[in-house]
Amino acid sequence: MRLKGKIAVVSGAAAGIGAATVARFAEEGATVYAGDLSFKENSEEGGILRRRLDVRDLTLWENLANEVSGAGSAQILVNNAGLVGTYASLTDVSVEDWHSVIAVNQTGVFYGMRVFIPQMLGRGGSVINVSSIWGAVGAAGVAPYTASKGAVTQMSKNGALTYAKEKVRVNSVHPGLIATPMIAAQDPNISADVVRATPMGRIGEPGEVAAVILFLASDEASYVTGAQFMVDGGYTAQ
């Protein structure tokens, strides 16, 4: 029960890494507010409160923060919602596609921290922002995704440095290729290329990322802030 008595908020909670994180957090005793665009109505079961959340919408974030503050205050925030959107390059991507990816992956993370960090100041809290290997090292094409994930890396360090004295830790997690609906929808040739470039030679499982997120959320990570955690089978070690 590593999160007993804690309140956690997870975005992008309906599938993949987010769903695995919600399940681990609940097993470890947290009350989890699970937000996702695809949740049509509110539901509650086994310490998991599912809420419709579009991370692009600041008002929905504020409503969720108000609800959570009525129940106590959030000690854990996982900004996980994200999408690739387009594989287009800087010169080919449409301006609309550019803004739509930045709105979810970058501005959504900004909104999450903006509304939930105030609940943590002085009391203690852990923010985990899900970036990517492509927010740590370069990749060709996929221009808005790499830009947004690089921003998530720096926003995490910024939050870590800004709020360190007020007991808020902020870290980023960088998954390699993980078996989720996002990857199932991707061109298999792209996934095969990433597996070939992965020293472990295999795709990762959502639970392998959730385990690292759980560590960062827990008090075991009490001296860890501003760090980048690769969960990538060695991809970025090369």
Ligand X SMILES: NC(=O)c1ccc[n+]([C@@H]2O[C@H](COP(=O)([O-])OP(=O)(O)OC[C@H]3O[C@@H](n4cnc5c(N)ncnc54)[C@H](O)[C@@H]3O)[C@@H](O)[C@H]2O)c1
Interacting span for ligand X (CB under 6 A) from 2-10, 67-75, 81-89, 213-221 = 81-89
The only residue of 6, 8, 9, 18 in contact with ligand X, by rule CB under 6 A: 18
Give the strand order in the sheet containing 43-45.
Answer: 43-45, 48-52, 31-36, 7-11, 76-79, 125-130, 168-175, 228-231
Q: What is the DSSP letter of 92?
A: T
Q: Which is nearer to ligand X, 100 or 121 (CB)?
A: 100
Residue 181 binds to ligand X (criterion: CB under 6 A): yes
Q: In the set 8, 24, 36, 214, which binds ligand X (CB under 6 A)?
A: 36
Using alpha carbons, list the distances in angstroms from residue 36 to 87, 98, 127, 215, 235. Answer: 23, 22, 18, 23, 29
Site for ligand X in 215-234 (CB under 6 A): none
- The catalytically annotated residue of 145, 163, 223, 235 is 145
Beta strand 48-52 with 43-45 is: antiparallel
The C-alpha atoms of residue 64 and residue 73 are separated, in whole angstroms, by 11
Longest dimension (CA), the chain: 49
- Choice from 2, 14, 153, 227 touching ligand X (CB under 6 A): 14
| 121, 137, 139, 182: residue in contact with ligand X (rule CB under 6 A) | 182
> From residue 111 to residue 130, what is the string marking binding to ligand X with x (rule CB under 6 A)?
-------------------x
Q: Which of 3, 8, 9, 37 binds ligand X (CB under 6 A)?
A: 37
Residues 81, 9: contact at Cβ < 8 Å?
no
Determine whether 111 is an active site residue: no
**Residue the block writes with tokens 């108000």:** 66
Check residue 132 for interaction with ligand X (CB under 6 A). yes
Residues in the chain: 238
Q: Is 62 helix (H, G, I), strand (E, B) or coil?
A: helix
User: What mask, x for binding ligand X by CB under 6 A, covers residues 91 to 110?
Assistant: -------------x------
Instruction: List the catalytic residues.
Output: 145
- Contact residues toward ligand X (CB under 6 A) are 11-12, 14-18, 36-38, 53-56, 80-83, 104, 130, 132, 175, 177-178, 180-183
